[in-house]
């Protein structure tokens, strides 16, 4: 290593190891960060990325290995140590107080004072300078609860700069941003890089790496397995991440033919939300629902599942009418829903893997008020093994699993219930490329066994790659249906931005 590189080195990690009961989370990770670079940290869910950044932010203490900042070995025993060393971390879940102003959040616990009182004028002025530096047009006096996701992120970056951070760790910062917001974020990151800040950037979007990164360190199974330039082809990055090549990103195994209509929806209407929705999903097929945010996709499937009411129309499962707004009736008929918010709606986070897998079948596994615990355990073990859930054991709390493994548990509880129609709402959001392919293979297995899948996704290539037919929604209506052979990104987007015909049966103000 040259003298220049050594002098530019902000951070070095050597042989970091961290274990938890029954789990080796990090097993010899090496990593370094230079001044004025974006170093991408890449790996599957559960590879150890989160544990590593929590080690740098002071949330975890490593069992072995060294951390060097500016060439000197340091110990990071808490968040204050991390801040003192110039390391700031922006997590996916922001660490901001909603009822405080932007300026109060930026300087929380470090407010400038004058004559023993908080100097609000100076605090607002200092905050304005930081906000201008990150290029966000927001008043320092705005309450944080009034801001959208993109601006909250900019406030977090301003807060990090107020700490004079030389190392900025960004954990999947683009996961919930629109493409326009992503471009604005990238512009800020490039500006910070030009100012000499070193940035550790974690992402699952491989296309972002070449656009923004300088180097990539790949972590697999708790160990660093390679450091490569950001220009490395995606196929090679995938091979490093998962230890194998993925020949096909969307491995849909389309059936030779389809069976009976398992789900039939006719004239489904919820005034002001969606109107005259009609479609069917047949045994052995995947029907995708595409559309822009706000088109009404999630609202429709929640109504089909009985989670939300509707005003008119009908839902039939295998030809039998389904009572509306009755989740129990939908489940009994064989419908399952994997919700968009898996943590908030799909899992009991403080319960075990086994308990979560058994949630749907708990009632059917009971006799005279007693649960067949042995039977539930055997079934949970079988399905967890079949899905390849990475865990210390069935007793492990679901909260501590990676995102991909949490999603497998959500799907697994419906597999245990022999679900006929599985509704998947954003099934791979926040999941790495290796876990995505495993989810796709599960979809193939379901349809091969004669089940039907209804899938919503904002990832258009995913919809096109995994669907046998695509329904496109716009403004609460179905704007069109495309067979797999004719479904292209252009064709879908043309329908998604169209204005569906209004037959005059609802008020114009509804949409």
At 176, the pLDDT band (50, 70, 90 cuts) reads confident
In angstroms, the first-to-last Cα distance of the chain is 62
Q: Which residues pair with 432 in a beta bridge?
A: none
d(CA 491, CA 498): 11
* 21 CB neighbour count, 10 Å cutoff: 7
Higher pLDDT, 93 or 440: 440
pLDDT score of 1 = 41
Q: Which of 43-57, 66-80, 429-443 has the lowest mean pLDDT?
A: 429-443
How much is the average pLDDT of 449-473?
Answer: 93
Higher pLDDT, 372 or 341: 341
pLDDT score of 249 = 78
At 504, the pLDDT band (50, 70, 90 cuts) reads very low
pLDDT score of 245 = 59
d(CA 372, CA 376): 6
pLDDT score of 282 = 97
Q: Which of 167-181, 215-229, 362-376, 490-504 has the lowest mean pLDDT?
A: 362-376
Asked if 240 and 399 count as a contact pair (C-beta separation under 8 A), the reply is: no
Is the pLDDT at 3 greater than 50, yes or no?
no
Nearest of 188, 169, 193 to residue 83 by alpha carbon: 169
How much is the average pLDDT of 76-99?
Answer: 91
pLDDT above 90 covers what percent of the chain? 62
pLDDT score of 74 = 96
Burial class (CB in 10 A: 0-12, 13-18, 19+), 79: middle
Joined together, the tokens standing for residue 309 give 């009411």
At 250, the pLDDT band (50, 70, 90 cuts) reads confident
pLDDT score of 509 = 34
Is the pLDDT at 500 greater than 90, yes or no?
no
Q: How many residues does the chain have?
A: 511
d(CA 221, CA 234): 20
pLDDT score of 255 = 80
Structure pTM? 0.66
Nearest of 398, 401, 407 to residue 23 by alpha carbon: 401
Q: Which of 83-92, 223-232, 279-288 has the lowest mean pLDDT?
A: 83-92
Is the pLDDT at 410 greater than 70, yes or no?
yes
* Average predicted confidence (pLDDT) for the chain: 89
pLDDT score of 4 = 42
Nearest of 43, 49, 44 to residue 25 by alpha carbon: 49
At 77, the pLDDT band (50, 70, 90 cuts) reads very high
Is the pLDDT at 33 greater than 90, yes or no?
yes
Joined together, the tokens standing for residue 267 give 């004239």
pLDDT score of 507 = 36
d(CA 420, CA 405): 23
Residue located via tokens 């406030």: 155
Domains, the chain, in order of start with CATH, read 3-242 (3.40.50.300), 262-334+452-501 (3.40.50.300)
pLDDT score of 138 = 93
């Amino acid at each position: 290593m040259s003298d220049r590189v050594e002098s530019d080195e902000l951070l070095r990690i050597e042989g970091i190891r961290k274990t938890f009961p029954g789990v080796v989370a990090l097993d010899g990770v090496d990593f370094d960060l230079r001044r004025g670079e974006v170093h991408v940290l890449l790996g599957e869910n559960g590879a150890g990325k989160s544990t590593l950044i929590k080690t740098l932010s002071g949330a975890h203490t490593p069992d072995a290995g060294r951390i060097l900042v500016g060439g000197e070995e340091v110990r990071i025993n808490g968040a204050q140590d991390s801040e003192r060393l110039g390391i700031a971390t922006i997590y996916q879940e922001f660490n901001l107080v909603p009822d405080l102003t932007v300026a109060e959040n930026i300087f929380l616990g470090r407010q400038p004072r004058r004559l023993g009182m908080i100097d609000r004028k100076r605090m607002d002025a200092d905050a304005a300078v930081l906000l201008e530096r990150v290029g966000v047009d927001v008043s320092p006096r705005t309450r944080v609860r009034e801001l959208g996701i993109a601006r909250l992120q900019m406030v977090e970056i301003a807060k990090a700069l107020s700490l004079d951070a030389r190392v900025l760790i960004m954990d999947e910062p683009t996961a919930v941003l629109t493409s326009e917001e992503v471009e604005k974020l990238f512009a800020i990151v490039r500006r910070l890089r030009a100012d000499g800040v070193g940035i550790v950037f974690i992402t699952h979007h491989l296309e972002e790496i070449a656009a923004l990164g300088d180097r990539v360190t790949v972590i697999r199974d708790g160990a660093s397995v390679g450091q490569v330039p950001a220009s490395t082809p995606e196929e090679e990055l995938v091979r490093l991440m998962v230890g194998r090549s993925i020949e096909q990103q969307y491995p849909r195994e389309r059936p030779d033919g389809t069976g009976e209509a398992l789900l039939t929806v006719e004239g489904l209407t919820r005034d002001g939300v969606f109107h005259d929705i009609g479609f069917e999903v047949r045994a052995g097929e995947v029907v995708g629902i595409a559309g822009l945010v706000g088109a009404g996709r999630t609202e429709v499937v929640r109504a089909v599942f009985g989670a939300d009411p509707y005003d008119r129309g009908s839902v039939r499962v295998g030809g039998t009418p389904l009572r509306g707004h009755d989740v129990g009736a939908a489940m009994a008929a064989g419908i399952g829903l994997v919700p968009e918010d898996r943590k908030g709606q799909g899992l009991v986070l403080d319960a075990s893997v086994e308990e979560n897998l058994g949630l749907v079948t708990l009632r059917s596994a009971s006799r005279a008020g007693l649960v067949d615990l042995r039977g539930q355990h055997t079934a949970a073990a079988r399905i967890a093994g079949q899905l390849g859930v990475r865990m210390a054991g069935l007793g492990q709390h679901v909260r501590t699993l990676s995102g991909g493994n949490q999603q497998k548990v959500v799907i697994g509880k419906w597999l245990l219930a022999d679900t006929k129609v599985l509704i998947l709402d954003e099934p791979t959001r926040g999941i790495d490329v290796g876990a995505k392919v495993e989810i796709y293979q599960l979809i193939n297995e379901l349809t091969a066994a004669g089940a039907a899948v209804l899938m919503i996704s904002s990832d258009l290539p995913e919809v096109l790659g995994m669907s046998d037919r695509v329904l496109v929604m716009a403004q609460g209506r179905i704007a069109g249906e495309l067979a797999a052979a004719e479904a292209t990104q252009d064709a879908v987007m043309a329908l998604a931005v169209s204005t569906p015909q209004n037959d005059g049966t609802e008020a114009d103000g509804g949409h």
